C-alpha cells in the first residue's frame, strides 16, 4: 500500500513552510501531485522526492519510512 502525505506533513519532513510548496504549485513551477482527495493534495514518495529536488533538498529513505510510521 502506498502511503499518502499531506502538504503539511511534506513541509515538516523537508523543513519548509507550507506556503512555499503551495506557491510553487500554484505558479506552475512545481507539478501538482498525481492524486487529490477532497480537493487536497496527496503526496506519494515520488512526489515528495520531486518537491525536495525542486527546492534543492535531499531526503533519505529512512526519513520517509519514519514519516510513514507517524501517519498510522
Residue of higher predicted confidence among 68 and 37:
37
Task: Say what the pTM is.
Answer: 0.84
pLDDT score, position 48:
95
Q: What is the pLDDT of residues 21-51, one digit of tens each?
A: 999 999 999 999 989 999 999 999 999 999 9
d(CA 50, CA 59): 10
Nearest of 69, 50, 51 to residue 15 by alpha carbon: 51
d(CA 63, CA 37): 24
Amino acid at each position: 500500500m502506498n502511503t499518502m502525505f499531506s502538504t503539511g506533513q511534506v513541509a515538516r519532513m523537508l523543513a519548509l513552510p507550507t506556503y512555499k510548496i503551495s506557491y510553487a504549485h500554484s505558479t506552475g513551477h512545481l507539478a501538482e501531485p498525481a492524486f487529490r482527495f477532497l480537493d487536497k493534495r496527496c503526496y506519494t514518495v515520488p512526489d515528495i522526492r520531486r518537491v525536495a529536488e525542486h527546492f534543492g533538498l535531499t531526503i533519505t529513505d529512512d526519513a520517509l519510512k519514519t514519516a510513514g510510521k507517524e501517519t498510522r
